[in-house]
Chain A
């Protein structure tokens, strides 16, 4: 797999560390915080098909990236800085 890093350009996936499902962390001010945190930490998306996941470019610019990838084919559609809003 080759990931198109927005800062470094296309790089081999072995430069990156995988975190997992890129959904947003919940607000911690609500009334059911523990339930929301449980869902965010443990119940991650696990689809067969298009999936957004977080990768850390430890072997390059050290940015967190949000990568759109097909889990059935390993095809990568694109990557953006994770600090931005989800696409």
Chain B
């Protein structure tokens, strides 16, 4: 069913009795051309673009829980393309362009809101670094504006500009950045993929790979054996566990990242703001709650919950930035598992196992990458060659020395 105003009006007159489920909850068939493991945003987007852009429709998406139940449902919904390094910026800008046309593409309201992403700077050195990053963004077509303190004050008058330790000197603004509705992105891609013949199979956990020599030819799952010519892993957070089933060891640590939402208040923060002197980012949802987060907890974890020192640290960052939020109550906090790669950048590549392809290492930046990750992973799966904007996201780059380390932290995943 295509959504439109006429359609909505007609259904309203009929008491909304005829709406159909947006996508099919399929049962597994014995064999597919391609299996995508992981029914989050990335996996579903991959299946969608495989069917739409490459005409490969005999595709299954396997999800161990329900679709969107992992990191797609646990992030802070920020979209942006404000990266510095050539290996990253072209990819994230391609993602931004896909976000801009996503709702028309999917005929689904993903609530993409380009309300601006503002990174604050607090010193001369940081302004120089941001000017450089802004120039890199402009060269890649992403657009950027370097604001002084007066311009920031016009947008966000409630910030603590004269903080004794970290005064706010200005910020780097990407007006095209903003937020999107995370669940709607999952459902929109699921609907688009399902309409084109993709089987979305839930409650189907992969427990092993079927091998023939050096090739994988299928998967063992909790719903039986399923064969396939190619398999794509899109299970960020658990990539090491699933890859280990194929005897692969990845340059990834799994960490827990916490996020928070406050009680709802009237419009207060117009866009997305990040604190440059700590790690704190915040935006306001359309319901009015402040959605924010900070650093990962910093130790290997599969627990999907974090510890209190990190909660305190994140809230201290918020208070240093905008003391006015101090009397708000936090409604909820939660944790998600993130693939922290060894240089802070993702991996979209073939693996040494024939027939097995990898999409992993998203650190805490996976949500904004969803459309381009799907687009480029589909390209790799369909054509056996990387999409030009992901050519640098190689699995072997750590061994060859071609790392993409935005922060220059070295091989220490909890610092990225």
Residues of B within 8 A of A21 (CB): 253, 300
Given the interface pairs A13-B307, A46-B254, A74-B307, the reply to whether A38 lies near B399 with Cβ below 8 Å is: yes
B154-173 contact mask (Cβ, 8 Å, vs A): 1 or 0: 00000000000000000000
Q: Interface size of A by Cβ–Cβ distance < 8 Å?
A: 23
Q: Is the interface of A mostly helix, strand, loop or mixed?
A: mixed
Interface contact A44-B253, CB-CB below 8 Å: yes
Interface contact B301-A53, CB-CB below 8 Å: no
B397-416 contact mask (Cβ, 8 Å, vs A): 1 or 0: 01100000000000111100
Q: How far is it, in angstroms, between the C-alpha of A19 and the C-alpha of B415 when the chains are bound?
A: 10
Interface contact B303-A72, CB-CB below 8 Å: yes
Q: How far is it, in angstroms, between the C-alpha of A69 and the C-alpha of B254 when the chains are bound?
A: 14
Any B CB within 8 A of the CB of A51: yes
Any A CB within 8 A of the CB of B299: yes
Q: How far is it, in angstroms, between the C-alpha of A16 and the C-alpha of B370 when the chains are bound?
A: 35
Interface contact A42-B411, CB-CB below 8 Å: yes
Interface contact A46-B252, CB-CB below 8 Å: yes
Residues of B within 8 A of A77 (CB): none
Any A CB within 8 A of the CB of B241: yes
Any B CB within 8 A of the CB of A18: yes
Q: Is the interface of B mostly helix, strand, loop or mixed?
A: mixed
One of A12, A20, A48 near B413 (C-beta < 8 A): A20
Interface contact A42-B398, CB-CB below 8 Å: yes
Whole-angstrom distance between the Cβ of A65 and the nearest chain B Cβ: 13
Any A CB within 8 A of the CB of B108: no
One of B238, B240, B309, B399 near A42 (C-beta < 8 A): B399
Q: How far is it, in angstroms, between the C-alpha of A41 and the C-alpha of B413 when the chains are bound?
A: 11
Interface contact A14-B309, CB-CB below 8 Å: yes
Interface contact B399-A71, CB-CB below 8 Å: no
Interface contact B250-A74, CB-CB below 8 Å: no
Given the interface pairs A18-B414, A46-B252, A51-B300, the reply to whether A12 lies near B309 with Cβ below 8 Å is: yes
* Residue ranges of A at the interface with B (Cβ–Cβ < 8 Å): 1, 12-14, 18-21, 38, 41-44, 46-48, 51, 53, 69, 71-74
Whole-angstrom distance between the Cβ of A67 and the nearest chain B Cβ: 9
B274-317 contact mask (Cβ, 8 Å, vs A): 1 or 0: 00000000000000000000000011111100010100000000
Given the interface pairs A20-B253, A42-B342, A48-B241, the reply to whether A72 lies near B302 with Cβ below 8 Å is: yes
Residues of A within 8 A of B309 (CB): 12-14
Residues of B within 8 A of A43 (CB): 249-251
Interface contact B250-A53, CB-CB below 8 Å: no
Residues of A within 8 A of B299 (CB): 13, 18, 53, 69
Question: Inter-chain contact count A-B, CB under 8 Å?
Answer: 57
Residues of A within 8 A of B240 (CB): 46-47
Q: List 13 A-B contacts (CB under 8 A).
A: A13-B309, A20-B414, A38-B399, A46-B250, A46-B254, A48-B238, A48-B241, A48-B254, A53-B300, A71-B254, A71-B301, A72-B302, A74-B303
Residues of B within 8 A of A53 (CB): 299-300
Given the interface pairs A38-B398, A38-B399, A48-B241, the reply to whether A71 lies near B250 with Cβ below 8 Å is: no
Of A14, A41, A46, most B-chain CB atoms within 10 Å:
A46
Residues of A within 8 A of B254 (CB): 46, 48, 71
Q: How far is it, in angstroms, between the C-alpha of A81 and the C-alpha of B303 when the chains are bound?
A: 26
Interface contact B303-A1, CB-CB below 8 Å: no
A-B pairs with the 9 shortest C-beta distances? Answer: A14-B309, A46-B240, A48-B302, A42-B398, A42-B251, A18-B299, A43-B249, A72-B302, A42-B342
Whole-angstrom distance between the Cβ of A56 and the nearest chain B Cβ: 12
Q: How far is it, in angstroms, between the C-alpha of A38 and the C-alpha of B397 when the chains are bound?
A: 11
Whole-angstrom distance between the Cβ of B329 and the nearest chain A Cβ: 24
Of B299, B309, B414, most A-chain CB atoms within 10 Å:
B299
B242-270 contact mask (Cβ, 8 Å, vs A): 1 or 0: 00000001111110000000000000000
